[in-house]
Amino acid sequence: MKVKLKVALISLLLPFASVSLRAQEKPAESAQEMADKLANPVASMISLPFQNNTDWGIGAYSGSKNTLNIQPVIPIKINAKLNLITRYILPVVDQRNVTEFNTHQFGLSDLTASAWFSPAQPKNGLIWGAGPALLVPTATNEYLGTKKFGVGPTALLLKQTHGMTFGFLVNQIWSIAGDEDRQDINQLFVQPFFARTFASGASIGGNMELTQNWQNSTTLLFFNPTLSAITKIGKQPMQLVLGPRVPLSGPDSTKPKFGIRAVLIFIFAE
């Protein structure tokens, strides 16, 4: 399991080695310009976010769960008018007392890949993107994944003006293949978001994350307010993000009592 985990992580990180070298050849952007682009999920900018979510008080055994989402975002220029923005989310999960008392699971969860076709030049600050979303059963533990392949549409719409960003992202995934003994997937994800950036590169913002499991008729809803800042280590720009995860609704078996989100985003050139 450890070998598979290392191979998966290395395969995600390798493309960024050459990207980092190219990034240093581009003219430097201001801190606020970087923050504005990071607030836009379909910005034409390569980034490597590490999003860590820690939740406590889950289920009947007051379990804890730490999820590190490795989320590379790679834009592909189709032509002068159209971009394809790809994002991959690979969760690394460490949980205790979630399935039963005195239990522990660690490993990869399932990979979600999204691709948005988006205009290269927004009009009046209005930005949109649409394309497919894929679910790939990469989990290394039966409790951490679905054992199902899934597919469906994803779309987003946002408005940016004078350092303000408002928008929402949505996807719907249905299982199409996989282990017949596991439950089918019919799941909707909706994420409205907002951000206010400043000249220093600091920003305040947040999002709502709603996961609707149509198969079980359950809804899990979080509110995630955040504070963030642009900084550098040497010549490498990055964004630091921190905030609470506030569970608003959900079944007792999966809704935590409280959580914290911390994100480190490495920023590269287009």
Is residue 16 pLDDT above 80, yes or no?
Answer: no
pLDDT (tens digit, 9 = 90+) per residue, 193-237? 999 999 999 999 999 999 999 999 999 999 999 999 999 999 899
What is the per-residue pLDDT for 125? Answer: 87
Give CA–CA dist 110/18, Å, rounded: 27
pLDDT (tens digit, 9 = 90+) per residue, 235-254? 899 999 999 999 999 998 88
For the chain, which residues make up each domain, given as ranges? 2-267
Is residue 2 pLDDT above 60, yes or no?
Answer: no
Class assignment of domain 2-267?
A: mainly beta
pLDDT (tens digit, 9 = 90+) per residue, 98-139? 999 999 999 999 999 999 999 998 888 899 999 999 999 999
Is residue 24 pLDDT above 50, yes or no?
Answer: no
15-23 vs 2-13: helix crossing angle, rounded to 10: 30
Give CA–CA dist 242/239, Å, rounded: 10
pLDDT (tens digit, 9 = 90+) per residue, 30-74? 899 889 999 999 998 999 999 999 999 999 999 999 999 999 999
What is the per-residue pLDDT for 122? Answer: 86
Note if the pTM is more than 0.85: yes
What is the per-residue pLDDT for 44? Answer: 87
73 φ/ψ sector (left φ>0, alpha ψ -120 to 50, else beta): beta
70: its two tokens: 């490795």
Distance of CA 99 to the CA centre of its chain: 24
Confidence of residue 28 (pLDDT cuts 50, 70, 90): low
- CB neighbours of 53 closer than 8 A, spacing ≥ 6? 65, 66, 67, 69, 245, 259, 260, 261
The answer to whether the beta carbons of residues 212 and 9 sit under 8 Å apart is no
Confidence of residue 270 (pLDDT cuts 50, 70, 90): low
What is the per-residue pLDDT for 160? Answer: 94
Is the pLDDT higher at 84 or at 8?
84
pLDDT (tens digit, 9 = 90+) per residue, 148-158? 999 999 999 99
Is residue 9 pLDDT above 70, yes or no?
Answer: no
